[in-house]
Amino acid sequence: MPPQPVDISLIISSRNRAYGLTNCLDAVSAAARQASYLRLELVFVDNGSSDGTSDVVRQWAANAPLKTNLVYEATPGLAVARNTGMKAAVGRTLAFTDDDCELFPDYFSTVAALFAGDTGPIMRGGRIELGDARDLPVTIKTELEPATLTSDLHAGGFIHGANMAFPRTLIDKVGLFDIRFGAGSPFRSGEDTDYVHRAFNAGVRVEYLPDFAVKHFHGRRELGDVKKLQSGYAFGNGALYAKYLFDRRSNMRGMLRWDIRQAVLEAMGRRKLSDELGLTYRSQLRDNLTGMLAYWRGQKTQRPA
């Protein structure tokens, strides 16, 4: 008898985070129990961990209310791990979150309802709440109004890789993640921005929906940590600007011009990127340009997505 189709595959990747996985996995259990009418699976990618990450997942999976597929991927990098998870997943809808996030109890039922009536591939992302009030307000997205990506908007941050979903059929149009981008890669970040941008350029509708939500427990409480994070994001965006600079379908050149304009206005006395967090448009532009140069200096020899 052929296996039953899976409605939703949730893909999570992790590296050396055995100490912090329990809350993430328990939230997956709670959401799965609330959506017991759905056929669900968790694809958990252990991205070359040297601690007990896989052991924690195995122990949890023994009593989990959904099928769990634990995959070991030795090559480090978030995009690599996500690609491995996508290849292993069998669900009609692929959903992604991070190992420091917790699903809301209605997560799976919300995803199922969002994709139920689609006649073609649509990429969706949702709200990311700050899980711990002691953490600084970064790597979250709390807008309460739905939105659709247009050519006037930057793909970066429109939806986040920590809370996104799309049908398996999207892979046929867009391919896999570009492994040069993302945490653990040469360009540090931007694998989700790149994927959103490629989907949009392929004619796929990209939506942000606030009712589709997770909580993020990122643990960053020092301004120095935030500045380092922001520098990595800007570096990755710079590499993306270089990747798409000569692509006439892309609006990345417009985004680069916007970054340059904001830095110039800031130098003339306008507002900074964030006074609260000590972030400036000028430092962001510096990291953009550094990322662009890094792309041009030799990363082109790696095979792009």
The structural domains of the chain, ordered by start, are 6-216 (3.90.550.10), 223-301 (no CATH)
pTM of the model: 0.94
Residue 131: pLDDT band (50, 70, 90) is: very high
In tens, the pLDDT along 17-51 reads 999 999 999 999 999 999 999 999 999 999 999 99
pLDDT at residue 224, rounded to an integer: 96
User: In the predicted model, what is the mean pLDDT of residues 239-268?
Assistant: 94
In tens, the pLDDT along 57-67 reads 999 999 999 99
Q: Are the beta carbons of 23 and 97 closer than 8 angstroms?
A: no
Q: Are the beta carbons of 113 and 228 closer than 8 angstroms?
A: no
pLDDT over threshold 90, residue 157: yes
pLDDT at residue 5, rounded to an integer: 85
In tens, the pLDDT along 204-222 reads 999 999 999 999 999 999 9
pLDDT at residue 230, rounded to an integer: 96
Q: Is 233 exposed, middle or buried (0-12, 13-18, 19+ CB in 10 A)?
A: buried
